[in-house]
Protein backbone atom coordinates (compact mmCIF):
# COMPACT_ATOMS: atom_id res chain seq x y z
CA UNK A 1 0.00 0.00 0.00
CA UNK A 2 1.41 3.38 -0.99
CA UNK A 3 1.56 6.44 1.19
CA UNK A 4 -1.18 8.98 0.56
CA UNK A 5 -0.25 12.55 -0.31
CA UNK A 6 -1.37 15.35 1.98
CA UNK A 7 -3.87 16.72 -0.53
CA UNK A 8 -5.81 13.44 -0.51
CA UNK A 9 -5.79 13.31 3.28
CA UNK A 10 -6.86 16.96 3.57
CA UNK A 11 -9.65 16.55 1.01
CA UNK A 12 -11.00 13.53 2.85
CA UNK A 13 -10.72 15.33 6.17
CA UNK A 14 -12.76 18.19 4.73
CA UNK A 15 -15.43 15.75 3.53
CA UNK A 16 -15.62 14.11 6.96
CA UNK A 17 -15.97 17.51 8.67
CA UNK A 18 -18.67 18.54 6.16
CA UNK A 19 -20.49 15.28 6.82
CA UNK A 20 -20.59 15.95 10.56
CA UNK A 21 -21.55 19.61 10.10
CA UNK A 22 -24.38 18.86 7.67
CA UNK A 23 -26.43 16.92 10.22
CA UNK A 24 -26.92 19.78 12.75
CA UNK A 25 -27.48 22.24 9.89
CA UNK A 26 -30.23 20.05 8.45
CA UNK A 27 -31.75 19.48 11.89
CA UNK A 28 -31.72 23.24 12.47
CA UNK A 29 -33.55 23.65 9.18
CA UNK A 30 -36.16 21.14 10.32
CA UNK A 31 -36.69 23.09 13.55
CA UNK A 32 -36.81 26.43 11.72
CA UNK A 33 -39.26 25.06 9.19
CA UNK A 34 -41.44 23.68 11.98
CA UNK A 35 -41.54 27.08 13.67
CA UNK A 36 -42.32 28.92 10.41
CA UNK A 37 -44.95 26.56 9.02
CA UNK A 38 -46.18 24.71 12.12
CA UNK A 39 -49.27 26.88 12.34
CA UNK A 40 -50.15 26.30 8.67
CA UNK A 41 -51.98 23.06 9.47
CA UNK A 42 -49.16 20.56 9.08
CA UNK A 43 -48.03 18.70 5.99
CA UNK A 44 -51.55 17.75 4.90
CA UNK A 45 -52.55 21.37 4.25
CA UNK A 46 -49.15 22.51 3.06
CA UNK A 47 -47.69 20.61 0.08
CA UNK A 48 -44.42 22.56 0.45
CA UNK A 49 -44.11 21.02 3.91
CA UNK A 50 -43.97 17.50 2.49
CA UNK A 51 -41.52 18.60 -0.18
CA UNK A 52 -39.26 20.29 2.38
CA UNK A 53 -39.39 17.22 4.64
CA UNK A 54 -38.44 14.95 1.73
CA UNK A 55 -35.52 17.21 0.78
CA UNK A 56 -34.25 17.32 4.33
CA UNK A 57 -34.56 13.54 4.59
CA UNK A 58 -32.38 13.21 1.48
CA UNK A 59 -29.89 15.64 3.02
CA UNK A 60 -29.80 14.06 6.49
CA UNK A 61 -29.65 10.45 5.29
CA UNK A 62 -28.03 10.81 1.90
CA UNK A 63 -25.25 13.25 2.73
CA UNK A 64 -23.44 11.10 5.34
CA UNK A 65 -23.78 8.02 3.12
CA UNK A 66 -22.36 9.86 0.12
CA UNK A 67 -19.57 11.34 2.28
CA UNK A 68 -18.64 7.91 3.65
CA UNK A 69 -18.70 6.37 0.18
CA UNK A 70 -16.58 9.15 -1.28
CA UNK A 71 -14.00 8.85 1.51
CA UNK A 72 -13.68 5.09 0.96
CA UNK A 73 -13.43 5.51 -2.83
CA UNK A 74 -10.96 8.36 -2.46
CA UNK A 75 -8.66 6.43 -0.14
CA UNK A 76 -8.82 3.44 -2.49
CA UNK A 77 -7.90 5.59 -5.49
CA UNK A 78 -5.18 7.40 -3.53
CA UNK A 79 -3.63 4.15 -2.33
CA UNK A 80 -3.48 2.90 -5.92
CA UNK A 81 -1.71 6.00 -7.21
CA UNK A 82 -4.64 7.96 -8.65
CA UNK A 83 -4.08 11.02 -6.47
CA UNK A 84 -5.86 13.65 -8.58
CA UNK A 85 -8.89 11.41 -9.00
CA UNK A 86 -8.90 10.74 -5.26
CA UNK A 87 -9.11 14.45 -4.46
CA UNK A 88 -11.76 14.99 -7.15
CA UNK A 89 -13.95 12.15 -5.83
CA UNK A 90 -13.57 13.39 -2.26
CA UNK A 91 -14.65 16.93 -3.07
CA UNK A 92 -17.30 16.40 -5.77
CA UNK A 93 -19.38 13.67 -4.11
CA UNK A 94 -20.71 15.86 -1.24
CA UNK A 95 -21.55 18.61 -3.73
CA UNK A 96 -23.75 16.13 -5.60
CA UNK A 97 -25.77 15.53 -2.42
CA UNK A 98 -26.18 19.26 -1.75
CA UNK A 99 -27.25 19.97 -5.34
CA UNK A 100 -29.71 17.07 -5.20
CA UNK A 101 -31.34 18.44 -2.05
CA UNK A 102 -31.57 21.94 -3.54
CA UNK A 103 -33.08 20.62 -6.77
CA UNK A 104 -35.64 18.61 -4.80
CA UNK A 105 -36.59 21.68 -2.79
CA UNK A 106 -36.81 23.90 -5.87
CA UNK A 107 -38.37 21.75 -8.59
CA UNK A 108 -40.05 18.68 -7.12
CA UNK A 109 -43.79 18.49 -6.63
pLDDT at residue number 58: 65
* 77 part of a folded domain: yes
- The answer to whether 16 and 68 have CB atoms below 8 angstroms apart is no
* 1 part of a folded domain: no
Please report the DSSP string for 47-101 in residue order.
HHHHHHHHHHHIIIIIHHHHHHHHHHHHHHHHHTT-HHHHHHHHHHHHHHHHHHH
Q: How many whole angstroms from its chain centre is CA 63?
A: 3
pLDDT at residue number 85: 80
* 16 part of a folded domain: yes
Q: Which domain holds residue 10?
A: 6-107
pLDDT at residue number 101: 64
* 88 part of a folded domain: yes
Radius of gyration of the chain (CA): 17
pTM assigned to the model? 0.52
Give the relative orientation of helices 83-107 and 47-57 as an angle to the nearest 10 degrees.
170
- The answer to whether 19 and 89 have CB atoms below 8 angstroms apart is no
Which among 52, 58, 71, 50 is positioned nearest to 22, based on CA atoms?
Answer: 58
* 51 part of a folded domain: yes
Q: Which helix (H) or strand (E) holds 37?
A: helix 6-37
pLDDT at residue number 31: 56
pLDDT at residue number 96: 73
pLDDT at residue number 89: 79
pLDDT, block means (10 residues), the chain with 109 residues: 70 72 61 52 54 64 74 79 79 72 61
How many domains are there within the chain?
A: 1
Amino acid sequence: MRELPRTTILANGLVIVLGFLEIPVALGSVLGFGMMYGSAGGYENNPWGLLWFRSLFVTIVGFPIICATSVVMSFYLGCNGYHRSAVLVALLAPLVSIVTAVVLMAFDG
